[in-house]
Structure 1
Amino acid sequence: MTVEVRSQIITDPELPDWLIPPSKGFTANDLDHLVELPAHTELLDGSLVFVSPQASFHTITLYVLEKGLRGNAPADLRVRREMSVVLGPRQRPEPDLVVLQATADPGPDVTAYEAADILLAVEVVDPASQTRDRGRKPQLYASAGIGHFWRVEQNSGRVTVYVYELDPATSVYSLMGIHHDKLHLTVPFEIEIDLTEIENL
């Protein structure tokens, strides 16, 4: 009976193509061609990852960080929110924020960026994404050569930004600092962001 039901699911034209994955998993290119795929779907290790509802902390934090990065970024860089990045044939995560080369953004129709053009990837951790944001996604960003990574969390009501930099010899991130009230950095460019604004909005 199980086999019969599965056979009906696979051949049912009313069901979306992404409901049953290919035997070797999806590819990064597939995400642009799967009809009715939920917004902000990520691809990790060939598997689709769907976004859960976001808490207000996530939205407010993204707003403050995006505003701060835009205000500090040099003219040859761009800040983008919730855009996917192709890290490999079976890897296309969607960082919460990225900073990339301006030349890598050809216009409003682009659906993903290449890892080689990304200077910084930022993940704001939610309970539902904690394992991915702390583990697998930083591993993938580092392996793809993205030079800087921030992990942002809420600890006892305070915003905490963990700042990482890539060691090119090992392709692994090293923790460069933990920031609470103010984020003041000189790489990948001069950055100063008041993190207490997140708690006050």
Structure 2
Amino acid sequence: MTAEPAGHVMWSPNPLRQRAANHFLEDVLNLPHDAPRVELRDGVMIVVPSPTVAHQNIGNLLWLWFRQHAPQEFLAVTAVGVALGLKDSVEPDVLLLDAKVEQTNHYVMPSSVAIAVEVVSPGTKRRDRLEKPVEYAAAGVPHFWRIEQNPVHVYAYDLVDGHYELAADSETELVLSAPFEIKLPIRDITP
């Protein structure tokens, strides 16, 4: 007697193409609807860990704050990727975009990004603290924010001569002049 496979088989990247680092942005766009979130790094699909409730709450509260306080020329979004190249993409936790961006796209170009925000979780520490800032800087994203948890602490960086320099950081109120006048009480994004 032979056992028949039961139920749905979970998606995973093609192992041969993974080893060959031969995935492209088009492959990510054509993933099945039930595939996990992925980012591309040099043609390799990286499955993005599921965020915790606290992580999601911080990102959602920041999205809401941006929606309420950013000027009309900006658009706050979540769960949208940034195409860094044909074989490279990232999916920040929150993006503040140029409001003129095409709203039917799953990915935006770095030139449309005003602020890319990463909320650091245990499974994303190295990537959010070390790797993504370098990738965003290389792509020309003018502002990068890293949000640490427990307690919530925001680090805001400005792109200067191809690399990020700390513009401000706070556990109480983040005050910045770019890309618009920002006075963000950290309690407003603390779950």
Shared fold (TM-score greater than 0.5)?
Answer: yes
Match of 1:183 in 2: 174
Aligned-pair CA distance for 1:175: 1.1
Match of 2:125 in 1: 130
Aligned length: 181
| Alignment-mate amino acid for residue 173 of structure 1 | Y
TM-score, normalised to structure 2, is 0.86
Match of 1:119 in 2: 114
1:70 aligns with 2:67: yes
Match of 2:56 in 1: 59
Give a deviation string over 1:25-64, Cα, whole Å, max 9, x none.
3112221123356242111222112122322220121122
Match of 1:147 in 2: 142
Q: What is the RMSD of the two structures over their aligned residues, measured on CA atoms?
A: 1.9
Aligned-pair CA distance for 1:172: 0.7
Flag the structure with higher helix content: 1
| Alignment-mate amino acid for residue 60 of structure 1 | N
Give a deviation string over 1:89-117, Cα, whole Å, max 9, x none.
2111100011111111x23x311101111
Match of 2:88 in 1: 91
| C-alpha distance in structure 2 between counterparts of 1:138 and 1:93, whole Å | 11
Match of 2:4 in 1: none
Check conservation: 2:168, 2:176, Cα contact below 8 A.
no
| C-alpha distance in structure 1 between counterparts of 2:189 and 2:33, whole Å | 34
TM-score, normalised to structure 1, is 0.82
For structure 1, the residue ranges without an aligned partner over 5 or more in a row are: 1-13
